Amino acid sequence: METIEKNDVKQMKADIKKMVEEQRFYTDQRKTVNRKGEYKMDPSEAQWKHRSNRQKLRLMYAAYGIARGKSFEITESNHTIPPHPLEQWNESINSIVNRYKIQVPVEVQE
């Protein structure tokens, strides 16, 4: 039995959903008047974490698109000028894609 290497898109999608929930939490915590009325962290710390998480989330979305066979232009369609802004993060995106590689067993047909 042989194995092939695939991207674990389901796990990547689950991690993106978890990061989106964190992003919503940070957005709520950085407001001066919290919707729920209680703070769990300092608003300045929440703003810093929101900003950091936003960049990580952008790279995760790009890695998800690459794993599904999409280009940067399709993943982020709001940039039309040829050198796409995500190309400067290409190394980070490729490391994220490589983190989600799995080995899948495949039967050989003769």
pTM of the model: 0.81
Paired strand residues for 9: none
Whether 35 shows a pLDDT value over 70: the answer reads: no
pLDDT for 85: 83
pLDDT digits (tens, 9 = 90+) for 47-92: 999 999 999 999 999 999 999 998 888 888 777 777 888 888 889 9
Rounded Cα distance, 17 and 4, in Å:
27
Q: What confidence category does residue 42 fall into, taking pLDDT thresholds of 50, 70 and 90?
A: confident
pLDDT: is 16 or 28 the higher one?
16
Paired strand residues for 106: 2
DSSP-derived 3-state class of residue 6? strand
